Amino acid sequence: MSIVGLFFPVILLVTWGVRILIVVLLVKALLKYLNERKTTPEQETIRRSLGEALKDHRQRCGMTQEYVAEALGVSRQAVSKWETGAAEPSTSNLLALAKLYGVDPGDLLRGVQ
């Protein structure tokens, strides 16, 4: 039996392994692409503005992110994400923030495009 005949099954396994790895990597890349949230520049401006407004009101009241998070029953990371624009608070959390900061809910949104 020749050397090629001995290594043929190994070569076949390696090539199939490479093919499977490429398919797995393509599927992972596709899933990551589909899960990314697409935002327009206008949405980024709105989120950034809302985050800045939330941070300004919190600082004006002399509150820490930890205090706000505890008062609303959310994590400090959630408050941080709202203020940086990485996430948006739900309507109920937005109303709770307005009450906590002693402002009208419209004031939180005023100036937001």
Q: pLDDT, tens digit, for every residue of 20-68?
A: 999 999 999 998 888 776 767 766 666 657 888 899 999 999 999 999 9
The helix-helix angle for 76-84 and 41-60 (nearest 10°) equals 120
User: Cα dist. 39→5, 43, 62 in Å?
Assistant: 56, 6, 32
* 3-class SS of residue 50: helix
Site of tokens 């706000």: 68
Residue of higher predicted confidence among 86 and 4:
86
Mean pLDDT (the chain, rounded): 86
Q: What is the pLDDT of residues 58-73, one digit of tens each?
A: 999 999 999 999 999 9
Output the pTM of the full model: 0.58
Contact by Cβ (8 Å): 45, 96:
no
Instruction: Give the Cα-Cα-Cα angle 45, 32, 35 (nearest 5 degrees).
Output: 50
